[in-house]
Amino acid sequence: MPQTEFNQEQFESIYPSGIERHYWTLARNLIIKRELLRGSLHGKKILEIGCGRGIVVDFLRQAGFDCYGVELAPVNSLLKITQYIHSGMDFTNLDQKFIDSIEVILLFDVIEHLANEQDFLNRIRKIFPKVKYLIVTVPARIELWSNYDTFNGHLRRYDLQSLKQSAEKGGWTTISSRYFFHLLYLPARVLLHFSGKRQTKIVPPTGLAVLGHKLLAHLFIFDSILFPNSCSGTSIISTLMASEDLNKI
């Protein structure tokens, strides 16, 4: 299994304390929740692979989902969900009974770090016998490549077709796929055109700025609903189904 965990500098820049209050994190969490509800996956047992400190796991558990996490790096998870997080562990080393109980896998901004994401996706399909659905988010559009991607160890940014092809090679069929954060796309392109780079450190909001970030997050929910799926955004979310299960429908 490749070692893909963040180093300390990367982790502190991307997952600082309070990151759960940042508009990007809030919006992505709400979009993930909506995707799970659209797929009628609320009653399923869910595992997030590459869960970091457990920001998504915490959000989904508060929303009533039976969600757990596993993280390759030995990070300190949020205290209130420590019992639901397997830290410093490869998902292949989880207890077999637990593996056999998982029905949905979540991979949020993970596979862009992998040299061979197809093998990784295929390994998930083979190791988790009950898993039929896989929900993935990835950074989108190669024209948005920047120092941020390099700093964080990204190997690629995707478009809808390249993500679909990677999923198929990994044994998964795309059920739905769409861009989100549409309203960030143009500002990102303009920023890169004039400055050639972007900030690599995320600063969580404090004080009154927290309210502003909440409002921005809900703006991006409307963004994800109103814009056409194929309209370029800075991220993609896809729901995949194990290919052999699709044949049974």
Per-10-residue mean pLDDT of the chain, 249 residues long, equals: 53 74 96 96 96 95 97 86 94 97 97 95 96 98 95 95 97 97 96 87 90 96 94 98 67
What pLDDT is recorded for position 158? 98
Residue 178 lies in a domain: yes
Q: What's the pLDDT score for residue 1?
A: 39
Contact 179, 229 (CB under 8 A): yes
CATH of the domain at 97: 3.40.50.150
User: In this predicted structure, what is the pLDDT of residue 148?
Assistant: 92
Task: Return the pLDDT at 27.
Answer: 97
Q: Is the pTM of this model over 0.85?
A: yes
In a domain, 3, yes or no: no
The domain containing residue 28 runs over which residues?
Answer: 8-242
Counted domains in the chain: 1
Nearest residue to 218 (alpha-carbon basis) of 83, 72, 36, 23: 23
Structural domain includes residue 39 = yes
The total of other beta-carbon atoms located within 10 Å of residue 193's CB is: 9
Residue 164 in domain: yes
What DSSP character marks residue 85?
E
């409307």: which residue's tokens?
222
Q: Does 205 reside within a domain?
A: yes
